Amino acid sequence: MGVDKLLRLLLLVYVVRILGATEYGKFSFASAFVSLFVIFPDLGLRPIVVREFAGGADKEEFGSIVSLKILLGIGTLALVTLGSFFITPDPNIQKIILILAISSIISSFTVIFYTFFQAFRRMEYWAWTDIIQGILMVVIGFLVIFNFPSIENLSYGYLAVSLLVLLFALLIFYLKFFPLKIHWRRAIWRKFLAMSWPVALVGISATLYSYIDSVMMGYLGMLEETGWYNAAIRISAVAILPAVFLSRSFLPVLSKFFKESGDKLQKAWNSQVGMVMLVALPLMVGGIVLAPQIIGFFYPPDFAPSILVFQILIVTTGIASMCTPFYDVMIASNQQKRIFWVTFSGATVNIILNLILIPRYSLYGAATATLITYFSNFLIYIIFIMKSTPIRPLQTRFLFTFILAAVSSSLMYMAIREPILYNLNVFLSVFLGGLVYILAVLGLMIISKKLKIYELNW
């Protein structure tokens, strides 16, 4: 997922430069509409599969999960196809929606194999598949965009990549685990769906406030604004990757420790939330300061409206990163229903805010609605985790880590604001800012230990 996202970002730069904001806005609108349905081929199975197989579930059950995915995929395709006729009268966008829907459903099958790899802590297979996907996307994407530049042909490129990556994942599964045998066992379907439906509702709610803004803008004819908005989203989304990687590593561990020891669970969660916090705060601060350079480096001058959007969204990404440890421990603690109420309330707030803010403030209203949504979710997560899990989040360690990250981020802010660093190549500014931050963190930890204020042990 990490390599793939970075390489997709590289491709996006050229897509935007060659096709322009309006055409990219059409593609983003179609992609966002398809993404509203992306939860249906999965129905919350992904984290449940990780938890159950990490906890020792029978491997033979995996074949029934695949058969369930087949049925869900067929139903989703029919739903998206029908919905496309209501969301837009443009036959070209309708066609792109259909192509992207097929690609998305195929990718959902690849993800279920990723999930199996994660459950058995064989993340190297996930990494290799991710790398292959990124390489294929760049090769095929650039071939299309330079030789056959159109959003329709780009959609066919996405479809080709999803098919090839699925074949690669199937090959790894066959060679490293066991030959896949598809079973049609309704009892297994009922077993997993009984556990996953609250997560599915969570996914539906989260999907709504992740994509409904782009769909609303596209539906209202704000296609150029949709292009500017999604250009900022694609860069800010990269910033959540560290939290995603940590989540993949910690979820199986948290699931294991929940069954074994409350003390081990607390220590593992403390490590996860501390690491996420130390990464999220500097990303937020650095992103706000360097937003003009970042947007200016990746996109042409007419994408200047994306700068403020990016500044809002990078703060949103930092808050979303902080939500991941709370989500993970609630999944590990079998609190899917409470997670649903968090995301459902967030989706409700987000839709209301988008209806109010988008007609008046366009893309800036959409970004603000998303920020408010994630911040409210974070506060609710803190309350729920204290009430429904063994975790105690508001500890000295939590406060110390926040102060450490905040002070170090402030020092980084002062450094990269200086013209000598600010006016460098954006990647060099990011590197030097990151170096200042790391040195500040290490220095403050040493001082704290020497003065016997607090010692942070991982």
- Confidence at residue 98, expressed as pLDDT on a 0 to 100 scale: 94
Q: Per-residue pLDDT for 286 more than 90?
A: yes
Q: What pLDDT is recorded for position 138?
A: 84
**Encoded tokens for 401:** 């880590």
When pLDDT is averaged across residues 260-270 and rounded to a whole number, the result is 79
Per residue in 109-123, pLDDT (tens digit) is 887 777 767 666 666
Mean pLDDT of the 278-305 span: 93
Residue 257 near residue 264 (C-beta atoms within 8 A):
yes
For residue 359, the one-letter residue type is: P
Range of the domain at 132: 1-198
What is the per-residue burial (b if ≥16 Cβ within 10 Å, else e) of 236-246? Answer: bbebbbbbbeb
Q: Is position 394 within any domain? A: no
In a domain, 265, yes or no: no
**What percent of the chain clears pLDDT 70, i.e. is strictly above it?**
91
Identify whether 433 is part of a domain: no
Is residue 455 over pLDDT 90?
no
294 pLDDT more than 90: yes
Strand, helix or coil at 391? coil
pLDDT at 431: 93
Q: How many domains does the chain have?
A: 1
pLDDT tens-digit profile of 22-59? 898 999 999 999 988 887 877 777 777 766 666 555 66
Higher-confidence position of 62 and 81 = 81
Does 306 score more than 70 pLDDT?
yes
Q: Is residue 227 part of a domain?
A: no
| 3-class DSSP string for 160-229 | HHHHHHHHHHHHHHHHHCCCCCCCCCHHHHHHHHHHHHHHHHHHHHHHHHHHHHHHHHHHCCCHHHHHHH
pLDDT band at 280 (very low <50, low <70, confident <90, very high): very high
pLDDT (tens digit per residue) in 373-392: 999 999 988 888 888 777 88
Nearest C-alpha neighbor of 188 from the set 304, 291, 60, 99: 60
Q: Is residue 270 part of a domain?
A: no
pLDDT band at 444; cut points 50, 70, 90: confident
Residue 128 lies in a domain: yes
Q: How far apart are CA 432 and CA 421, in angstroms?
A: 8
Q: Is residue 346 part of a domain?
A: no
Residue 152 lies in a domain: yes
